[in-house]
Amino acid sequence: MSQSSTTNAQVAQIELSITIPVSLEESWRIFTTEIDAWWHTDFYATSNHLRIVLEPIVGGRLYEDTGNGSGLLWYTVISIDPPHTITLSGNLAPPYGGPALSLLYIRFEPIDEKNTVMHIVDSIIGTVGEYDLREGWRVLFEDGFKRYIEKNSKK
C-alpha cells in the first residue's frame, strides 16, 4: 500500500553578490566557457559525471554529462545578454530537494576595468529543503568560480 502526503508550496528568494577580480568580459568568458574547470566537486549530483556543460544561448542547457546521452539537466537558459546577464530555469526533482522550480538570474556588473560584481538571485517555488540555499550558492560561486579565477587569472 502506498502513502501520500500533502506539502504546501513555498517561495524562497536568495540574493548574493560576489566581487570577481577580473574585468566584466573576462568574468563572463570564464563563467560561460570554463564552467567545467571551476564547478565545485560537491555540486555534482551524479556519481559518474564526466563534465558540466553550459550552452550560453537561449534554449541552451546547463547539465552534467555522464556519457552516451545520459546525465542530469540542471537548467535551461531562458534569457541571455552577454556579457551582462543570464537567466536560467530549472526543475528540482524530489531526489535533489524538490519538487520545485528554480529561476536563477545572474548579472555581471563592472566596478572598474579589473573588477566585476556578480549578482545572483535564485527564486524557488515549491518544496524548499532544509538546507541553506544561500550558503550553497556561496560555495559554488565564491569557493568555485571566484577562487578559480584568483588562482588562474593573469595579474
The pLDDT assigned to 134 comes to 83
pLDDT in tens, 82-115: 999 999 999 988 877 778 999 999 999 999 999 9
Name, in order, each residue with C-beta under 8 angstroms of 137's C-beta and a sequence gap of 6 or more.
14, 16, 120, 122
* Separation between Cα atoms, residue 73 and residue 62, nearest integer Å: 6
Cis peptide leading into residue 83 (ω within 30°): yes
SS3 135: helix
Name, in order, each residue with C-beta under 8 angstroms of 47's C-beta and a sequence gap of 6 or more.
none
Q: CATH number of the domain at 10-45+81-152, out of 2.70.70.10, 3.40.50.1000, 1.10.3720.10, 3.30.530.20?
A: 3.30.530.20
Q: Which residue ranges make up each domain of the chain?
A: 10-45+81-152
pLDDT in tens, 114-142: 999 999 999 999 887 656 678 889 999 99
pTM: 0.90
